[in-house]
Amino acid sequence: MKPKIKIFAFFAVLAVLACQRPYSLDDFLFEPVKLNGEYLDADDLFHDYGCVNIVPDSQLQFITLTSSNENKIYGFFLSAGPDSLTPVGITILYCHGNSTNINRYWKRVEYLWRMGYNVFIFDYQGYGKSEGSPSGQALYDDGKAALDYVKSRTDTIVYYGWSLGSYVATHLAADIEHPKALILESAPASVEALLRDAGLVDLPGDYVAQADFDNVKRISEIGCPLFMMHGLADDYVVFERHFPYIWNAAIEPKDSLSVIGAVHDNVPEILGVRYDQLITDFINRQVRKINP
Partner 1 sequence: MIIIFLGSGCGTIASVRPIGKGNSSLSLSSAGPVASVFGIDMPIPYAVLRYRHGLNDNTDFHCGLHATMLYLGNIGIDVGLTKHLFLQSGWRPALAFEASIYALYHLNEVSSIRAFPEAAVFARYDLLGDRHAVYFGSHVLAQYTNPYIIIAPFLGFEFNIGHFGLNLEGKWYAPTEDTKYRVVDYKIKPFNRGAVGFAWGVSYQF
Residues forming contacts to partner 1 in the complex (CB under 8 A) are 14-15, 17-25, 28-29, 194-204, 206-208, 235-238
Q: How far apart are CA 126 and CA 139, in angstroms?
A: 10
Q: Which of 214, 229, 223, 217 is nearest to 263 (CA)?
A: 229
3 Cβ contact list (under 8 Å, min separation 6): none
User: What is the closest distance, in whole angstroms, from the C-beta atom of residue 80 to partner 1 in the complex?
Assistant: 36
Residue number with CB closer to partner 1 (220 or 284): 220
Q: Looking at beta carbons only, is 23 or 292 nearer to partner 1?
A: 23
Measured from the CB atom, is 267 or 287 closer to partner 1? 267
Q: Which is nearer to partner 1, 237 or 250 (CB)?
A: 237
CB of 240 to partner 1, least distance (A): 10
What are the φ and ψ backbone dihedral angles of 146, each rounded to 5 degrees? -65, -40
Return d(Cα 182, Cα 92) in angstroms, integer: 9
What does the chain come to in residues?
A: 292
Determine the Cα–Cα distance for residues 255 and 155; give it in Å rounded to an integer: 23
In the complex, what is the shortest distance from the CB of residue 17 to partner 1, in angstroms, rounded to a whole number? 6
How far apart are CB 19 and partner 1 at their closest, in Å? 6
What DSSP state is assigned to residue 205? G
Q: What is the H or E stretch that residue 246 is in?
A: helix 239-249
| 29 vs 73, beta carbon nearer partner 1 | 29
In the complex, least distance from residue 202 CB atom to partner 1, rounded to whole angstroms: 4
